[in-house]
Chains A and B, each alone.
Chain A
């Protein structure tokens, strides 16, 4: 049982994500976490002015329950299933990140420079998270899905649009990390 409390290797995690996909298909649902963002807009009343949000959000209630479950899952994983949450990164990556100013690289699960509560008092930190979040929400809906909907579920269905979207995800990610990170950090 020791492995349970250590970080899970890719050959455990990947098949368990495939199992999640299977469980959703077999109960007649589709895997897609970013749809919840649209549903939340609709619940907030965005459907009154914008037709894109004018749909019966109750039909998407199941997916919100799944998202709520994911919150609980994150809580359980960190509090009851983790001895140490240090991410064992490639030493080159640790060096790169320290050079960019991420002193927490190789010591924590998330960079304290962006995800400790002190960020609430940092204008630059907040701005980075706001811009990142905006691009995620806008981009996911524009592309019609995110990592779960396109990369996992869409590619599993051999959909060409999902392949194009995933190529886009990587173009964006590579541009950000290789060209924009040195300017931002």
Chain B
């Protein structure tokens, strides 16, 4: 039953990613050129509403629909891992023009070379896991 709910949320999110053009390589390029408000409007309005939603949920102590406590654990403090990791991610995001959500939407939309990106992203994740203790965090 819960699985169907997860699936439906995923389908909804996938449709939004594709129809918003947030999954388009071109839109990512345009964003980094600051030549259109489109992506900034999407992220800005999502975050603006997201802040209201998240803060209301935290303040009201509502339970999840399954009656569990809603826990939002903050990330550990630090700078290096977020900055260095973030820069590496940004380089890849601009080059491949897709982040991990849109990758799946593009696969479904039939842009099969995204399989190369996805496979390589899994490999990149694996290499991070192998060398993580040697990296500054």
A: residues with CB less than 8 A from B are 7-18, 20-28, 30, 33-34, 36-38, 40-41, 44, 46, 50, 52-53, 62-63, 65-78, 81-82, 87, 89-90, 92-93, 96-97, 105, 109-111, 114-117, 119-120, 125-126, 128-148, 150-162, 164-178, 180, 184
Contact = CB atoms under 8 A, between A and B. Distances in A.
Nearest to B51: A156
Nearest to A50: B129
B78 A175 contact: no
A178 B91 CA distance: 11
Nearest to A12: B20
B82 A105 contact: no
For the complex of A and B, the 10 pairs showing the least CB-CB separation, nearest first, are A69-B10, A73-B14, A168-B86, A172-B90, A135-B92, A132-B96, A143-B85, A137-B124, A14-B45, A10-B41
Contacts of A21: 46, 50, 53-54
Interface string B85-102: 111111111111111110
B91 A175 contact: yes
Most buried by A among B55, B72, B116: B116
Interface in B110-127: 110-114, 116-127
A115 B77 contact: no
Contact of B89 (A36, A115, A146): A146
A164 B83 contact: yes
A161 B11 contact: no
A136 B110 contact: no
Given A37-B100, A67-B10, A96 B33 contact: yes
Most buried by A among B21, B44, B71, B130: B21
Chain A, interface SS category:
helix
Contacts of A41: 122, 125-126, 129
Given A77-B18, A154-B75, A165-B86, A71 B108 contact: yes
Interface extent on B, as a size class? 35 or more
Chain B, interface SS category:
helix
A83 to B, nearest CB: 11
B19 interface: yes
Contacts of B111: 110, 115
Contacts of B100: 33-34, 36-37, 136, 140, 146-148
Contact of A77 (B9, B19, B57, B75): B19
A74 B117 contact: no
Given A133-B92, A139-B85, A167-B86, 12 more contacts: A14-B42, A25-B70, A33-B99, A69-B7, A71-B14, A73-B12, A93-B26, A116-B113, A126-B116, A137-B124, A148-B99, A158-B51
A70 B17 contact: yes
A74 B20 CA distance: 11
Most buried by B among A68, A90, A110: A110
Contacts of B10: 65-73
